[in-house]
């Protein structure tokens, strides 16, 4: 009889625990149904940030994304503490080498709080592409990015051509293919020539 | 050795189906890196039992969101000889309540080696594990499955189940009256991990176990009704617990973790466990961790300090202090070194971490123990 | 510990869990999670140590659990 009562109490307790978990799930699930593109900011904020936000590279160069118009620019947001970001960066560095001569480039923007962490990783991996340190309160916050890593590709007019979220094999492969298509479809204009 | 077909196969088939199904791409899912590392641990207690553990871990990632992990452990357990004079009452009591075979010679150390292996495969949100542990009188095996669900970016739910089956063959002993036996354990859990803020995470869950089979020490006798009687515990046990853990990061680069667990079972044991960990970075790559744990439990309904009759309580008798009233404290201190960060100008360290730790445990049965461990972690 | 008191503690624990679940409605973006992935914060980083300690406690005490997974069996003294 004691065992029967104990089992009843257990069943009751487990039911309550399951109910509590269900409440937590419903609450969390109801919170965020944001855009799939990964940018939470409105289009006006996005375009203004792409024109005006100043980026400082690890080697001290200062630029904006607007200044890189004319190139196909792969803008990748990463962090040294983000494992899939680290793995993706080596692929992007190889992509940068492939497209550099055809008017393309990769800009890797670190959201690390401490620039030393970003610099240590970039040095260790011998990254040749442009690596920028912007911190978590910079462009990532302005654009209200939902994912990390997050990549957007700007066409030669400086407009967002497409975005990818995360770093699965499929998404990285898709990013590489579409970037190469963009670079090939609209070749860079050499100095002194016109289209 | 028999695998109960319904339960074991159910867990195994469920695990395989989740592994082979198309995995959900979860937002922010982290892939494990490749890591490898040895660890050595030494344990010594006030009963002069010593355990040396040599462990190694290896984790790797493969394409298509597949990960593999392996863990090995070899332990040498030394249970000391009875030190009391031969024929004395003290010696008789020690031999009667010994948790080791005494045939041959109770006045020699008893040494046994335990080998453990655990292998796991993950694919996306699903994981399947196999565990085996082998020693001279005990073979334990277990299969386990787990499935993770990421709900938006804030909440992760994990559902796990495992089935274990143990074969127990007590070594020949003058007093052993327990022949070969089995024990099975069915376990289920549901755990939620939630991001509360950019500096706070909480984890909470419930667990349920059903254990069937031999659950007492086959070498131990209990003094009851004027004579020595083999220990007897019930062969069925339902165990459940609920726990909550809170991690909080502070601006001075420290963190505090608070945990609470409530447990009860149908043997009548109710326990509370409260623990806290404070971690503090001292330099860029080095942090110190302090730990304190308090534990208290009520006795099993059949536990008595003395049994008046050989029938015990409802036919059960125990000489195991672990099912009696108990409270315990644990203090711990560890130093963790991220050698790659501390010596960034020396690439030979790569991404290597070193840990050195010490813990001191003591309980209300005048029992105490020291844990010492040191290990390395390599990340590729 | 009385049966009724044990039940009340269960209820309290479940209410706490539900409240914690409800309070997790503040958005924390991926780029804001650096501190959550730190070695001194990550549940995953401590999993091996937690599992090892839990096994030691199970060999010394009458209860089990608290890590969200069952440990394997042994003849641990």
pLDDT digits (tens, 9 = 90+) for B10-24: 555 555 554 544 333
Q: Could you give the CA distance from residue B84 to residue B94 in angstroms, rounded to a whole number?
A: 8
Residue A127 sits in the same domain as residue A93: yes
Say how many residues make up chain A. Answer: 195
- Cβ contact, residue pair A27, C25, below 8 Å: yes
Question: If you measure CA to CA, which chain C residue comes closest to A148?
Answer: C30
Check residue A19 and give its pLDDT: 59
Whichever domain contains A181, its CATH number is 3.40.30.10
Within-domain flag for A36:
no
Greater pLDDT, B270 or B7: B270
Residue A99 sits in the same domain as residue A8: no
Question: What secondary structure does DSSP assign to A12-38, as a single string?
Answer: HHHHHHHHHHHHHHHHHHTT----TTS
Number of folded domains in chain B?
A: 1
Residue A75 sits in the same domain as residue A171: yes
Helices (H) and strands (E) in chain B, counts: 3, 18
Check residue B75 and give its pLDDT: 92
Distances (CA, A) of A65 to B256, B343, C49: 41, 35, 46
> In chain C, which residues have their Cβ closer than 8 Å to the Cβ of B69?
none
Pair of tokens at residue B54: 């040599």
Within-domain flag for A1:
yes
| pLDDT of chain A, 195 residues: tens digit per residue | 444 454 455 456 555 655 555 555 444 444 333 343 788 888 888 888 888 999 999 988 899 999 999 999 999 999 999 988 988 998 999 999 999 999 999 999 999 999 999 998 899 889 999 999 999 999 999 999 988 999 999 999 988 998 998 888 888 999 999 999 999 986 665 444 443
Greater pLDDT, B89 or A191: B89
Residue A66 sits in the same domain as residue A132: yes
3-state secondary structure B205-255: EEEEEEEEECCCCCCCEEEECCEEEECECCCEEEEEEEEEEEEEEECCCEE
Total beta-carbon pairs less than 8 A apart between chain B and chain C: 191
Residue A12 sits in the same domain as residue A63: no
> In chain A, which residues have their Cβ closer than 8 Å to the Cβ of C17?
17, 20-21, 24
ipTM of predicted complex: 0.80
On the question of pLDDT at B126 being above 90, the answer is: yes
Within-domain flag for A190:
no
On the question of pLDDT at C20 being above 60, the answer is: no
- Cβ contact, residue pair B116, C29, below 8 Å: no
- Give residue C25's pLDDT band: very low, low, confident or very high (50, 70, 90): low
Residues B58-83: pLDDT tens digits?
999 887 778 999 999 999 999 888 77
Residue A53 sits in the same domain as residue A26: no
Whichever domain contains B190, its CATH number is 2.40.160.40
Pair of tokens at residue A135: 């911190």
On the question of pLDDT at B280 being above 90, the answer is: yes
The number of CA neighbours under 13 Å toward the Cβ of B54 is 4
Asked if B27 reaches chain A (Cβ–Cβ under 8 Å), the answer is yes
Greater pLDDT, B260 or B34: B260
Number of folded domains in chain A?
A: 2
Residue A4 sits in the same domain as residue A75: no
Domain span at B334: 5-379
Check residue B82 and give its pLDDT: 78
Residue A86 sits in the same domain as residue A16: no
Nearest-CA distance B204 → chain A (Å): 9
On the question of pLDDT at B299 being above 90, the answer is: yes
Check residue A16 and give its pLDDT: 63
Check residue B350 and give its pLDDT: 67
Average pLDDT estimate for B317-341:
92
Check residue B4 and give its pLDDT: 47
What is the dihedral sign for C-alpha B317, B323, B325, B329? positive
- Cβ contact, residue pair B243, C66, below 8 Å: yes
The rounded mean pLDDT for chain B is 85
Cross-strand bridge partners of residue B23: none
B370 by DSSP, 3-state: which?
strand
- Cβ contact, residue pair B241, C52, below 8 Å: no
On the question of pLDDT at B236 being above 60, the answer is: yes
Check residue B1 and give its pLDDT: 39
Check residue A194 and give its pLDDT: 41
Nearest-CA distance B138 → chain A (Å): 29
On the question of pLDDT at B343 being above 60, the answer is: yes
Q: Could you give the CA distance from residue A147 to residue A153 in angstroms, rounded to a whole number?
A: 15
Q: What is the largest CA-CA distance in chain A?
A: 95
Within-domain flag for A154:
yes
Q: Could you give the CA distance from residue A16 to residue B73 in angstroms, rounded to a whole number?
A: 39
Check residue A48 and give its pLDDT: 87
Distances (CA, A) of C76 to B70, B75, B220, B236: 22, 11, 14, 19
Domain span at A58: 43-185
> In chain C, which residues have their Cβ closer than 8 Å to the Cβ of A145?
29-31
Nearest to A16 among C11, C22, C25 (CB): C11
Span of B78-82, B91-95, B133-137, B325-329 with lowest mean pLDDT: B91-95
Neighbours of chain C (3+ CB pairs under 8 A): A, B
User: Model's pTM, two decimal places?
Assistant: 0.82
B329 by DSSP, 3-state: which?
strand
- Cβ contact, residue pair A29, B151, below 8 Å: yes
Residue A22 sits in the same domain as residue A96: no
Check residue B6 and give its pLDDT: 54
Nearest-CA distance B152 → chain A (Å): 6
Residue A12 sits in the same domain as residue A106: no
Residue A71: DSSP 8-state? B
Residues B27-53: pLDDT tens digits?
222 334 688 999 999 999 888 889 999
Question: If you measure CA to CA, which chain C residue comes closest to A6?
Answer: C3
Check residue B226 and give its pLDDT: 86
């Amino acid at each position: 009889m004691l065992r029967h009562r104990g089992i009843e109490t257990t069943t009751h307790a487990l039911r309550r625990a399951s109910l509590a978990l269900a409440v937590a799930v419903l609450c969390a699930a109801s919170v965020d149904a944001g855009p799939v593109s990964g940018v939470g900011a409105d289009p006006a904020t996005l375009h203004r940030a792409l024109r005006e936000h100043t980026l400082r590279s690890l080697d001290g160069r200062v630029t904006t994304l607007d200044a890189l118009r004319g190139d196909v620019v792969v803008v990748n947001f990463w962090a040294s503490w983000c494992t899939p970001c680290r793995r993706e960066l080596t692929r992007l560095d190889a992509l940068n080498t492939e497209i550099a001569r055809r008017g393309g480039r990769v800009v890797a923007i670190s959201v690390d709080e401490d620039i030393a962490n970003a610099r240590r990783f970039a040095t260790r991996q011998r990254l040749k592409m442009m690596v920028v340190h912007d911190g978590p309160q910079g462009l990532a916050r302005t654009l209200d990015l939902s994912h990390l890593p997050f990549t957007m590709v700007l066409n030669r007019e400086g407009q967002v051509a497409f975005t990818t979220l995360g770093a699965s094999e499929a998404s990285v492969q898709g990013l590489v293919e579409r970037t190469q298509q963009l670079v090939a479809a609209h070749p860079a204009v050499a100095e002194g020539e016109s289209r | 050795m028999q695998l109960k077909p319904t339960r074991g196969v159910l867990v195994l088939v469920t695990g395989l189906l989740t592994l082979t199904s198309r995995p959900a791409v979860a937002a922010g899912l982290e892939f494990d890196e490749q890591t490898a590392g040895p660890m050595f641990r030494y344990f010594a207690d006030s009963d002069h039992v010593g355990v040396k553990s040599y462990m190694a871990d290896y984790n790797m990632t493969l394409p298509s969101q597949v990960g593999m992990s392996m863990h090995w452990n070899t332990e040498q357990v030394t249970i000391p000889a009875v030190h009391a004079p031969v024929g004395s009452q003290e010696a008789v009591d020690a031999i009667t309540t010994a948790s080791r075979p005494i045939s041959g010679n109770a006045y020699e150390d008893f040494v046994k080696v335990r080998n453990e292996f655990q292998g796991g495969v993950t694919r996306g949100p699903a994981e399947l594990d196999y565990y085996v542990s082998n020693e001279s009188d005990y073979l334990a095996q277990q299969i386990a499955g787990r499935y993770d669900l990421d709900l938006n970016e804030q909440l992760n739910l994990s559902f796990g189940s495992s089935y274990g089956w143990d074969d127990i063959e007590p070594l020949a002993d003058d007093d052993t009256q327990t022949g070969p036996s089995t024990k099975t354990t069915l376990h289920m859990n549901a755990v939620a991990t939630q991001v509360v803020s950019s500096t706070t995470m909480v984890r909470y869950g419930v667990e349920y176990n059903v254990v069937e089979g031999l659950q007492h020490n086959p070498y131990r006798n209990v003094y009851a009704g004027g004579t020595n009687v083999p220990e007897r515990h019930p062969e069925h046990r339902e165990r459940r617990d609920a726990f909550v853990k809170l991690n909080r990061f502070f601006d001075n680069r420290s963190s505090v973790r608070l945990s609470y667990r409530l447990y009860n079972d149908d043997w009548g044991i109710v326990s509370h466990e409260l623990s806290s960990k404070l971690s503090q970075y001292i330099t860029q790559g080095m942090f110190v961790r302090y730990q304190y744990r308090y534990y208290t439990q009520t006795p099993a309904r059949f536990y008595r300090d003395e049994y008046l009759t050989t029938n015990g309580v409802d036919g059960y008798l125990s000489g195991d202090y672990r099912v009696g009233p108990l409270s315990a404290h644990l203090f711990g201190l560890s130093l963790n070194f991220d050698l790659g960060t501390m010596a960034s100008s020396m690439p030979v360290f790569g991404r290597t971490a070193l840990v050195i730790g010490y813990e001191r445990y003591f309980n209300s049965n005048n029992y105490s123990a020291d844990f010492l461990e040191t290990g390395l972690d390599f990340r590729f | 510990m009385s049966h009724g008191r044990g039940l009340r503690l269960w209820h309290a624990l479940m209410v706490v869990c539900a409240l914690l679940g409800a309070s997790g409605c503040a958005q924390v973006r991926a780029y804001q999670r650096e501190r959550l992935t730190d070695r001194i914060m990550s549940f995953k980083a401590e999993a091996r140590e937690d599992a090892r300690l839990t096994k030691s406690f199970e060999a010394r005490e009458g209860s089990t659990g608290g890590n969200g997974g069952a440990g394997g069996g042994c003849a641990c003294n």
